[in-house]
Structure 1
């Protein structure tokens, strides 16, 4: 499959991914495929840290060289979280320390493809209200919001954001930031990413905010 993906890069294939049951099927079982992708300068994302803990994320990054992590929600298990004990349980909880893996993921800006509704459906998160995305956002991880499976979860990306806005203090500026995170993490060329961010995303959100002067904002030549 990796050979097929690489062979079709000129036809629009931009990366290689594995997904499915994590327990008993570690990413390193497909190491040869990932090594091929690395030799061919081909992008990699790996499903990890949903059905299994931080060990699967570590293996995906450090053994297989993933550029993005599909889900990664259980990276929260590599954080020290303390509840201040005020108000609604969980709402006042804060991260007091990041483990070595969590620090590495944040410092290296490795994107986490967070899928809130799907995580609730699969039991990786008890509820949206208790979803670990709140900690990733607070700690400035490179988070993207995703649907994972639109059919099984009966979800759209717009609905995903709407649901999050009901349990988190997420406003339009936050949605814009998460959208930009997604484009920064896209497996397309640098010039194309910049063009989409500055020619489409930023002007689009400026228009939503009623800022017509910024709606035609273009990337400065020196950027």
Structure 2
């Protein structure tokens, strides 16, 4: 039985971290038949995650804030397969500070890794998809912080909100090309990025989570990967310019 993205060519950025959203997403796409490229500024991490995934996945070094870096990765993918069908802009960092501690250097770093990388991916990814002429799906990994305000997340939230709105405008521009652009907004997901928020006592940790998440648990990377899979597949052929919140009801309150 063919997979839901069988034969499609996918690029997932920021996929070098063990147990991260990028790895889970790349695995899910590979399980459903895609030719998957995992990229990360950490070459060793990207290659290790690709080996763990199997299914012919390939890990590449990639500074997502560099235009030349994007050009090199896309050239490799087009050399191997002649096209790009799925782009998941997942590369990101969370620099969380009170405003008095948020320096210009930190702010610019936050925007570069989260927003500039997404801009470069969307611009150059669209060019690659247009060259192939087969349409495509771009999924930007944003955050609930890109929709609502949270303490210490002003810069992080601004970068994630930028991905959300940039993608909406691009969806209108690329609709005629059959290129769909959507965003996914994770809530409290169990990854290395959210590990510092954990409490040492399991009971206290559960109390904290239940206080803000109606479903009463943290999400797993696979919860995000499943949403991305839907958006990447032909099942979502009539879905573009949309945002999908995967947060256990956190922002419904």
Asked whether the two chains share a fold, i.e. TM above 0.5, the reply is no
TM bucket, shorter chain = 0.3 to 0.5
TM-score (norm 1): 0.38
| Structure with greater Cα Rg | 1
- Which structure has the higher relative contact order (CA within 8 Å, separation 6+)? 2
